Amino acid sequence: MSVGEIIIIAVVVLTLLAVGGAIAQRRRLEASGDRFAAHLDDANSDLAAAHAHDRGWEPATLEAAARAVIAEQPDAAPVHALTLVQVVDPPGKQEDRAIFRARLSDQRELLLTMARRDDVWYAVAIEG
């Protein structure tokens, strides 16, 4: 075998190893990606709920208002899961926002933005 043939074989073997490694890494990331996203969502919702509670917002009141808004929608389906994902709390009450992710029983997801006026929560936007 000549030196050129050895080099070509080595390049082919290294290329196959690199491609195989990349495929294996991509599969590993895909397999753990959902679990990572779930942990990240849990952490974000815990942070948002703590922030809401610390600022004098009552999470149960917020959730009840969000559920009521979703139930009033013409194509409403029962809420399977409702997660507070973000709290926007600038000074004062007029700009307060609470953003929820709602997973409905028909597998749809909604992003619901609530605002507060005189301690009453109402929908500003519903996406999804």
Domain locations in the chain? Answer: 1-128
CA atoms within 13 A on the CB side of 6: 3
Q: Write the DSSP symbol of residue 119.
A: T
C-alpha dihedral sign at 77, 99, 51, 93: negative
DSSP codes of every residue in 75-110: T---EEEEEEEEEE--SSSTT-EEEEEEEETTS-EE
Taking only the tens place, the pLDDT of each residue in 54-70 is 666 778 888 999 999 99
Residue type, 34: D
Mean pLDDT score of the chain, rounded to an integer?
Answer: 84
The pTM of the full predicted model, rounded to 2 decimals, is: 0.63
